[in-house]
């Protein structure tokens, strides 16, 4: 479409190849969530891993803490248009959490405290592309930002980085999660601008 908005010049800095299409650079850290922030104490926190054959393991906070952690610096992109560069995180690579589970799985449905879910292809959360993050900016993750632990999948729109993570359900087919059933894209690649269903 050939629309020009009269009187609009835009506020442009030097164009930044790290900002995906339709996004703008944000320095704050806005919050997106569908309901109240659940208060989950680490003493009661659990992360359940359910494999395709129904076998279930349940990790406690101490179990998670005992797994190898990584520190990483990455860019994040929210579907509401902001991108934030060079955010620093500490977390456990998802492969270490899965520990061999999901051998025949193709997808994972991530469950959160508060009842929300989001779906991801397994290949997008393995190979060093996803973490269970416990620290942001050198400090324990605050509840507002998903603490005590959230998924971190920085190469996809940030709603895929499920806050308050409590379960990983391994699947042999894709099941749409909470946001995805409500019109958001099943995969959510910011570089292909996959915001909403059909993008």
Partner 1 sequence: MTTTAPAPVPMPWRLARVEDGWLETRTARTVVLDVPGWPGHDAGQHVDLRLTAADGYTATRTYSVASAPEAGRLVLTVQLVGGGEVSPWVVEEARAGDELEVRGPIGGWFRWSAEMLQPVLLVSGGSGIVPLMAMLRERSRTGTTTPFHLVHSARTPDHVFYTNELHALAVSSPGLRVDRLYTRGGLPDDARTPGRLRPEDLPAVDAFDAPPLVYCCGPSGFVETATRILLDKGHDSGAVRTERFGPSS
Stretch that binds ligand FAD, among 19-27, 117-125, 136-144, 158-166 (CB under 6 A): 19-27
Structure tokens at 81: 């248009």
Burial bucket for residue 112 (CB in 10 Å: 0-12, 13-18, 19+): buried
Nearer to ligand FAD, 84 or 166 (CB): 84
Judged by CB under 6 A, the residue of 19, 20, 26, 171 near ligand FAD is 26
Helix (H, G, I), strand (E, B) or coil at 84: strand
Structure tokens at 189: 């690649």
Query: Closest approach of Cβ 37 to partner 1, in Å?
Result: 6
Nearer to ligand FAD, 26 or 174 (CB): 26
Binding mask 97-136 for partner 1 (x = CB under 8 A): -----------------xx---------------------
Query: Closest approach of Cβ 197 to partner 1, in Å?
Result: 5
Mark 26-60 as b/e (b = at least 16 C-beta within 10 Å): beeeeeebeeebbebeeeebebebbbbeeeeeebe
Judged by CB under 8 A, the residue of 10, 14, 100, 138 near partner 1 is 10
- Residue 80 engages ligand FAD in binding (rule: CB under 6 A): yes
- Residue 32 engages partner 1 in binding (rule: CB under 8 A): yes
The span from the CA of 17 to the CA of 40, in Å, is 38
């Amino acid at each position: 479409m050939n629309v020009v908005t009269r009187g609009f010049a835009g506020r442009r800095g030097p164009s930044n190849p790290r900002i995906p299409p339709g996004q703008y650079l944000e320095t704050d850290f806005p919050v997106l969530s569908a309901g109240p922030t659940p208060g989950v104490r680490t003493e009661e926190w659990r992360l359940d891993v359910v494999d395709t054959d129904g076998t279930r393991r349940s990790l406690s906070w101490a179990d998670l803490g005992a797994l190898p952690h990584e520190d990483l610096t990455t860019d994040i992109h929210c579907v509401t248009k902001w991108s934030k560069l060079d955010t620093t995180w500490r977390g456990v690579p998802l492969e270490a959490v899965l520990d061999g589970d999901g051998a025949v799985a193709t997808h994972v449905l991530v469950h959160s405290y508060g009842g929300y879910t989001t779906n991801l292809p397994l290949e997008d959360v393995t190979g060093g592309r996803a973490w269970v993050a416990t620290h942001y900016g050198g400090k324990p993750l605050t509840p507002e930002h998903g603490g005590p632990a959230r998924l971190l999948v920085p190469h996809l729109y940030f709603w895929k980085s499920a806050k308050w993570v409590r379960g990983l359900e391994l699947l042999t087919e894709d099941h749409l999660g909470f946001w995805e059933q409500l019109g958001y894209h099943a995969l959510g690649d910011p570089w292909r601008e996959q915001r909403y269903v059909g993008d």
